[in-house]
Structure 1
Amino acid sequence: MGSVYPTTTGTALLSPRRSPVPPAAPNTPSEKRGEATISSPPSLPRRSSSLHKQLITKLRPLPLQYHWAVWHSKPDPQHQYILTPLVDDVSDIGRFYRIFNNMPWLQIRQNDSIHIFRAGVKPLWEDAENQQGGRWLIRVRPDNNRAIRVWEEICLLCCGGELQAAIAQGKHKPPSALVLATG
């Protein structure tokens, strides 16, 4: 017995192929008369908010390439900096935004700093990860919360593993820290 599929090129590909299963007999009076039937559309969720809530609770937050830690530093009267760890494990984008959105950005005092370092790296030059490091200085006018928006974008680029690609061509060691310093 031969194949039901065409094996040649040309117009043979345009001809309909034979179906191995015969068509079903019409069941309803409208089908017997040759009239088309319209099926009802699929049912949708009653509220989009319930669908959104289901998606949020079912989906796992996107993991970050590295785990990050958040530190706060402020100078003491002898001009030494006091380091305080705020959060020790930022491992996914959901946790990043829970921290970022609840940080009192407008209450950070003059000369205070917020540090975001890879977990396990301390915001000190003496740490082995920082000995070959450097720093960038980006000045942004503090009008209309623009500085906070720039800081958020830079944090997302760094924590998401995209900052190195955004700033330089070539093979460099990925950054291990970000610091927001006021003053």
Structure 2
Amino acid sequence: LLSSVISIQKSDALVPVHPLKHVWTYWYLNDQRDKSWEKRLKVVSNFATVEEFWALYVSIRPPSLLPSACDYSVFKKGIQPMWEVPENSKGGRWLITIDRSRHHDLLDLIWLEVLLAVIGQQFGKYTDDICGIVVNIRNKGSKISIWTTDCNNDESNCKIGEILKQKLMSPDIDSKIQRPIFDILRYEDHQEVQNKISSSVKAKHIITAAD
């Protein structure tokens, strides 16, 4: 239930002073698999400022405490976190897979690093090509992905991947975390993922930590 994820205290004392370039929507997909995917998906909140983001973020469970089969998604307002919508239908995603053995060390850290980079315009002009980000909680290994709007825009997608690698390789990330915090970044076409006939999908682009 949404109430199990979020508990926000509304206050008139919260004054927006640092607006973000875009308004973002924080979504939650619950683990009630007996319901349709659309009925499982709920809007948690919208945020348009740095202050609104942090007020929301500290009020909800981190990804590592969500049950398996749950997702968080943060997308530009007006874009639903679904492959089928026009903004996503011809797009793709940069995918980070979190090894089960390092799940609790890395999941929350990488999610927050990527989230701050995306909403904070750290991808520069290429942020315009980013629709949102998703974290999928799964027993076999959780995933974090950045969704872009055009899987064939190689220049933009490759640059987003390069910047993502820089963020994840940054020495500013918690020094107690074993490095590297990822092995490989894969860019996948949404259509290829939907139409896959095996457990693997051919990546359009690959970036390794060792490069």
TM-score category by the smaller chain?
A: 0.5 to 0.7
1:74 aligns with 2:35: no
SS of aligned partner of 2:79: coil
Task: Name the residue aligned to 1:161.
Answer: 121
| Closer, same or farther: CA 143–122 of 1 in aligned 2, 3 Å | closer
TM-score normalised per structure 1: 0.57
Match of 1:17 in 2: none
Sequence identity (%): 21
1:124 Cα shift?
1.4
Amino acid paired to 2:130 = P
Structure 1 unaligned blocks of 5 or more: 1-56, 166-170
1:104 pairs with 56, 61, 71, which one?
Answer: 61
- Whether the 8 Å CA contact 1:154–1:163 is kept in 2: the answer is no
Report the CA distance shift for 1:172/1:95 in structure 2 as closer, same or farther (over 3 A).
closer
Larger radius of gyration between Structure 1 and Structure 2: 1
C-alpha change, 1:97 and 1:111, in structure 2 (3 Å) is same
* Deviations 1:18-50, CA, capped at 9 Å, x for gaps: xxxxxxxxxxxxxxxxxxxxxxxxxxxxxxxxx
Alignment root-mean-square deviation, CA: 2.5
Aligned to 1:152: 112
1:108-136 deviation per Cα after TM superposition (whole angstroms, max 9, x unaligned): 11010001010011111121111122122
Tell me the equivalent position of 2:92.
Answer: 134
**1:95 offset after TM fit, Å?**
0.8
In structure 1, C-alpha distance between the alignment counterparts of 2:14 and 2:76, rounded to whole Å: 28
TM-score, structure 2 normalization: 0.50
